[in-house]
Structure 1
Amino acid sequence: MSFETRGLKALIASMALAIGLSSAGLAQPSSASRLAPSQPGTDVYILSFGLWGPQSVFESEAKGAARVLEASLKSKGRTIVGFNSKRSAGATPQTIRNAIQTVGRVIDPDDVLVFFLTSHGSTDGAAIVTRDDHNVITPDNVQHLLQESRARYRVVIVSACYSGVFARKLADERTLVITAASADRSSFGCRDGATWTYFGDAFFNKAMRGERRLDIAFEKARLLVTRREQREGFDPSNPQIAGGSEVLARLSERETAPSQQPCRVPRANAQSAAC
């Protein structure tokens, strides 16, 4: 997002350049019982994190995106949301990794992981800012986390300035990457107290409420964002989508697959079993 005060890039550059991903000193992963277990077919697990604590819009967007994704992708009980605020730190390197480990304990090879980050960004990555600490989550960090999750099919969505750097590094046939901006552009709408950023409003709050296909929702959102930026006199953020052909096919098959009916035990006098 475009930050209204000067020096954001200098601030981010002064932060640690990578998240510590070793297991030393980290809290134990959350219990796998927090997430519903995988069932036959393709399930979707959602991790949504608002990383920049000083502005409430990122907490709001992380929560709102999780709600929309959960409803659209039918993933009730398979969502973890974390956020930093002016008073709390729920989206730190440690808690993000713990959430990844929790998913890794229950996910099956046919399942899909959706990993969403919203924050301010730079060409290094997305900032993680709490009251007591500053970090950056880089594309290399996210790649490591995705590997640790054991998810074969992944969707990475990043709502931040310069977030196209994640697409460059991560996109492939099994990893769909959607970003609010290209690698050399700012995105907008990070006002404290706002409910959504411009991209979050267009993609989650508008496009995805009526469209379950992520690629089609993205195209609708890109048009909405472009029109809004033109009206308000901003340089275009140029949202990006890359990779993910196998992910989109798997999600599409999931939509058209017949729902599985539970097998019911027949009563003693019943003529035939229910299945």
Structure 2
Amino acid sequence: MVRRRAHVDNGARRAYGRSSPTFPAAVPRLPAILIDGLRAALFRHPRVASTTVGAGVFVGVIVVYLLASILIGMADTTPPWMLLPGGVLTVLCDSMLTLIAAWLLAVLAARREAVWGIASVLLAATVATAVVVHWPVGELAVYLARHGHGALALLAELAGRCWWFFVLLVFSHWLAPRGLGHALGSAVLAYAISAASWWWLPQSPLIRTMPTVQADAGEAGRGDAGNGVDATVDPDEGSSDTTTASTAFDAEAAMYAQPALLDAALAKLKPQTPGKVDLYVVAFAGDAQEDVFRNEAEYVETLFARRFGAEGRTVVLENHAATVTTRPLASWTNLQRTLAAVARTMDPAEDVLLLYITTHGSDDHQLLVDLDPLPLNQIGPEDIADALKTTPAMRWKVIVVNACYSGGYIDALRDDSTMVLTSARADRTSFGCGADSDITYFGKAFLAEALNRTTSLREAFDLARASVDAWETADQKDAKAASKDDADAGAEPILHSEPQIATSASIEARLAAWRRTLHEAPAVPFTPASEGAPP
């Protein structure tokens, strides 16, 4: 048996120990390497071939990896699609980590001359594992989570992560059959480099849905979401002190400052408290044209810090001309990076994330992300779901989407360990934003009133829904009574935003455990951000 393995290893040395000068010359060898990668992904030893393997083959496998990742991204994303440069960098970074892991395995197996061959097979195994294991297992985990099987979803996700370790273990033993202990040690080190490092490295998807909300759609959204009757803002009001559209700032400097601003904000996050359920809060104010969203996001920070024990565990992302030099922007990239950092800081199995999003929404369920003249991408339900796929995965989440038509976000975000609150039904507008408002109806009812009366998020939502319904009824009755242009105005039905909730016994039990850690705290009055926070 030993001789047979030694013979295979020597064959591996002959097959993978030579160099290939160029990428074009390596193309014919790709199929054999890809088959070897599939065999490795299925815990089979790669076949010994007579072809030479060098850097050109490795580059070819990188191209295959990129194409496979694009196809998987397209399958998981609603068209029309757009390619993200950050996703390309993620693939290249993963390829380089695989090369480093291959070099380590070659050194430990005394096969330094075979680095390119080992790296090519390992990267081909990465592609095969992504296609035949991680992708279907990930879809299964999402399905299980959405149907209330949180424990099974967690087991499926864990199995997917462990799979690559066993691939490395079998591969390491094939390279150097010196005993299970040597193979195990090699596999652990290679796994730490090629897989575990992604627990703290930033990642970006390759494919996203092409934004469909344009400037005109954003303006239309503002009209729909004003006061339920006619929220169109007079052009002359755009120059008032309460709006920021005319405030000048250096757009290029604002973009270049983002990494430093976000890093500074994330560096201030407090670590979690062992044995205690901590709350981490991320507030996202998407539209810069009206102060109402900035006011609401900054009030979230103040309210949860002072009344709910989240001081030092809150990050505000906002688009506002007055804060471009002091606050990180509300963009999808910053949201993804922030959630990833929070996941690494908190105990993802114990602590709770509260994500509060406030902006305009469109009837095709796109959130307006706007800070003119910066070219910011709009955000859809799948984008938020992607941003929440952190490593390590955060289990307990409360997601609040305060925007028109926000009920369309529930299906993409709900699972057994997540509570989703929206300010409107999927086919209804919400109310209370616009240049004349300091806070939205839902924000006022849920944040400023209900959460100053109770620490239960579920109870606060129920109170807020009743308040919003009463305010909308009163506003529309007043508007109809004042209408003189339509004799039948009084006969028109009253339309309500109808805030929605998706919850489960599991997340409510976790929130109950969190509430037991809170100390009694006084109410926190709402003050617009431009007037300064209360003392």
Q: Same fold (TM over 0.5)?
A: yes
- Specify which of 11, 33, 38 is matched with residue 267 of structure 2: 33
- Specify which of 380, 399, 404 is matched with residue 161 of structure 1: 404
Is the 2:332–2:383 contact (alpha carbons within 8 Å) kept by the matching residues of 1? no
1:248 and 2:528 are equivalent in the alignment: no
Question: Is the alpha carbon distance of 1:86 and 1:244 closer, same or farther for their aligned partners in structure 2, counting shifts above 3 Å?
Answer: farther
| CA-atom RMSD in angstroms | 2.2
1:115 and 2:359 are equivalent in the alignment: no
Shift of 1:73: 2.7
Give the alignment of 1:77-226 within 5 angstroms: 77-86=312-321, 88=324, 90-108=329-347, 109-122=349-362, 123-131=364-372, 132-148=374-390, 150-192=393-435, 194-226=437-469
Q: Which amino acid aligns with 1:130?
A: L
TM-score, scaled relative to structure 2: 0.43
1:58 is matched with: 293
Is the 2:331–2:369 contact (alpha carbons within 8 Å) kept by the matching residues of 1? yes
3-state SS of paired residue (2:310): coil
Between stretches 245-254 and 218-227, larger displacement belongs to: 245-254
Higher share of residues assigned helix: 2
Q: Distance in 2 between matches of 1:129 and 1:258?
A: 36
Is the 2:309–2:518 contact (alpha carbons within 8 Å) kept by the matching residues of 1? no
Partner deviation per Cα, 1:108-129 (whole Å, 9 max, x = no partner): 1201000110000013231111
1:68 is matched with: 303
Is the 1:155–1:244 contact (alpha carbons within 8 Å) kept by the matching residues of 2? no
Q: Which amino acid aligns with 1:120?
A: H
Q: Distance in 2 between matches of 1:179 and 1:92?
A: 20
Larger relative CO (CA 8 A, sep 6+): 1 or 2?
1
Greater gyration radius: 2
Is the 1:175–1:244 contact (alpha carbons within 8 Å) kept by the matching residues of 2? yes
- Specify which of 478, 491, 497 is matched with residue 237 of structure 1: 497
Shift of 1:66: 2.4
3-state SS of paired residue (1:155): strand
Higher share of residues assigned strand: 1
Shift of 1:134: 4.0
Structure 2 alignment gaps of length 5 or more? 1-221, 234-257, 477-493, 520-535
Is the 1:51–1:117 contact (alpha carbons within 8 Å) kept by the matching residues of 2? yes
3-state SS of paired residue (2:287): coil
Number of aligned residue pairs: give it.
240
1:12 is matched with: none
Q: Which amino acid aligns with 1:178?
A: L
Structure 1 alignment gaps of length 5 or more? 7-25, 260-275
